[in-house]
Amino acid sequence: KNEVEQSPQNLTAQEGEFITINCSYSVGISALHWLQQHPGGGIVSLFMLSSGKKKHGRLIATINIQEKHSSLHITASHPRDSAVYICAVGSRGGSEKLVFGKGTKLTVNP
Amino acid sequence: NAGVMQNPRHLVRRRGQEARLRCSPMKGHSHVYWYRQLPEEGLKFMVYLQKENIIDESGMPKERFSAEFPKEGPSILRIQQVVRGDSAAYFCASSQAGGSSYNEQFFGPGTRLTVL
């Protein structure tokens, strides 16, 4: 079992829909990151959080430390949101390295 | 304020050649991380360096791969005698200090290595 599990693996939505991507992890963490990667492109950090909730524009990230679970929400989705969304965790007490989920490929159709 | 720079963006090598990938961290950042993304796979940690020190190389293959971050100049990931299985995207990230809980890592655009 991977230390970081994401679901769903693939997600197709219509423009305007509310999107939720889930991330579960099995290790004690110091922080959780949500990243965005466009096809053939670089990686952009969306959020880093260790508790509660963060909001940036149409993106919202939440984390439940007790349940070892985080969600990334996109409100009023748009075709330009089409990308791979990656959850990554920094392990508590370990090295500074990140451990990544396999990513969720989101396609938003017009 | 430039972000993390990586070059080259694309690199083609024949089997047996050497590949050198460079990463210049963001201004003021002294911690560098290298990650590899194999085709159809997730990102995997390779090595974590501070200036002139390798802090964690637990993700580096035992042979042919090495990394450095000299006092002056960019961090270098070096792959000797490349094989087709080395074809991947290699991403560098930097942070202001250590501690993934307190210091966000900023990613470069990646170097896409193709081994023929």
pLDDT digits (tens, 9 = 90+) for A25-43: 987 777 899 999 988 778 9
pLDDT confidence tier of residue A1, bands split at 50, 70 and 90: low
Contacts B109 to A, Cβ<8 Å: 41-42
Q: Report the SS3 class of residue B66.
A: strand
pLDDT for A40 equals 76
**Structure tokens belonging to residue A61:** 């990230």
Residue B83 confidence (pLDDT): 97
Are B99 and A86 within 8 A, CB to CB?
no
Which pLDDT value is given to residue A58?
A: 97
Cis peptide preceding A8, ω within 30 of 0: yes
> How buried is B39 (Cβ within 10 angstroms: 0-12 exposed, 13-18 middle, 19+ buried)?
exposed
Confidence of residue A92 (pLDDT cuts 50, 70, 90): low
Mean pLDDT for back-to-back runs of 10 residues, chain B (116 residues): 88 98 93 91 92 92 95 95 96 78 81 96
Among partner residues A30, A101, A103, which is closest to B100 by beta-carbon distance? A30
Q: Do A101 and B42 touch (CB under 8 A)?
A: yes
Instruction: Give residue A39's pLDDT.
Output: 82
- Per-residue pLDDT tens digits for A59-76: 999 999 999 999 999 999
pLDDT at A98 over 70: yes
The DSSP secondary structure of A7-57, one letter per residue, reads: E-SEEEEETT--EEEEEEE-S-EEEEEEEEE-TT--EEEEEEESSEEEEET
State the Cα–Cα distance between residues A17 and A19, nearest whole angstrom.
6
Radius of gyration over alpha carbons of chain B, in Å?
13
User: Is the separation of the CB atoms in A27 and A44 below 8 Å?
Assistant: no
Q: How far is CA B60 from the centre of its chain?
A: 10
